[in-house]
Amino acid sequence: MASSSTGDWEGVSFESGWPSSGELNAQRVWSLWKSGALAAAEIAKHPLGYALRVYVSGSFLYSSVHTMRRAAEQEARELKRHWLARS
């Protein structure tokens, strides 16, 4: 069962080292359940552009920074396809 959200979810990152106040405006770009684990990706403003962060089962897994939001969104789509293709 997979669910995807590209909407209006805004919140603060749970990644340690990132500000825990409302300084970051993180937006979830997708989330899905696979093999009993929740995976989610979010994009947030970053001093160098836009940070893409991926979480699995509530734990931080991966991060990358892009100068353009479009590039971060493209990588998020590719990671979602990769995650869905995993057995």
SS3 80: helix
Alpha carbon distance 62, 33 (integer Å): 17
**Residue ranges of the chain with per-residue pLDDT less than 70:** 1-24, 87
What pLDDT, on a 0 to 100 scale, did the predictor assign at position 34? 82
What pLDDT, on a 0 to 100 scale, did the predictor assign at position 18? 41
What pLDDT, on a 0 to 100 scale, did the predictor assign at position 80? 94
SS3 42: strand
What pLDDT, on a 0 to 100 scale, did the predictor assign at position 24? 55
Using left for φ > 0, alpha for ψ between -120 and 50, and beta otherwise, residue 26 falls in: beta
CA dihedral 65→6→60→57, nearest 10 degrees, is -160
What pLDDT, on a 0 to 100 scale, did the predictor assign at position 84? 87
Tokens at residue 64, please?
Answer: 């990358």
What pLDDT, on a 0 to 100 scale, did the predictor assign at position 63? 94
Tell me the sheet residues that pair with 31: 40
